[in-house]
Amino acid sequence: MYIVALGATATQLGMVNTAGMGVAGLLSPFTGWLIDRIGTKRIYLTGISLLVISYLIYGVAHSWTIIIAMIAWWLGDTTSIHSCATVCANSLKNKDRATDMSLCETLAQGLLGIVGPMVGAYLVTSFGGVNVEGIRPLFLFSLLITVGTFFLILTQLSNERWEKEVREDLIFLEIFPRFSSRERI
């Protein structure tokens, strides 16, 4: 709606969104590889930084030709989600992992999914309604929250690298743990 309010047609909006999703889709398989080589925290912060850039560009945009913001958002979102899942997967015990990850997703997406639209509607109404000037503050508000998240991750997430020795003769059991009777953490 914001990009259309800035002058884009529905087709152009679709093209911009497709380009962002396409770039993120092409690069997404490499996120895990980068996490393994560079570290979860650095890649997580990179993803959040891309979201910050995206919200900043959207917040100051005066034209719909802000495809870089859409690409940055899709890349940042994809990278952050993969990194967050890696942190959860490596921080939780096997027996609690699915329950705890579901609880985290329920609280994060469920609670924010309920509260977010109400806050957004209040902000849009407060800043002039459903138009460019009424929607623009949402991106600046998101920018502030995302910068706060960046500093929270920067200061609170350890640089621990989760590594597990894998014996070459047991690689099958590492890939398919169901066939192993050993207890895993």
Which domains does the chain possess?
2-179 (1.20.1250.20)
Q: Fill in the DSSP letter of residue 173.
A: H
Q: What is the pTM of this model?
A: 0.75
d(CA 155, CA 64): 36
**Ordered alpha helix ranges (H), the chain:** 2-5, 10-27, 29-38, 40-60, 67-91, 94-105, 112-126, 132-156, 171-175
pLDDT in tens, the chain (185 residues): 777 878 888 888 888 889 889 988 898 888 888 888 888 888 889 999 999 999 998 888 887 667 788 888 889 988 888 888 887 777 777 777 788 878 877 877 788 888 888 998 999 999 988 888 888 899 999 999 999 989 988 888 777 665 554 444 545 555 555 555 555 54
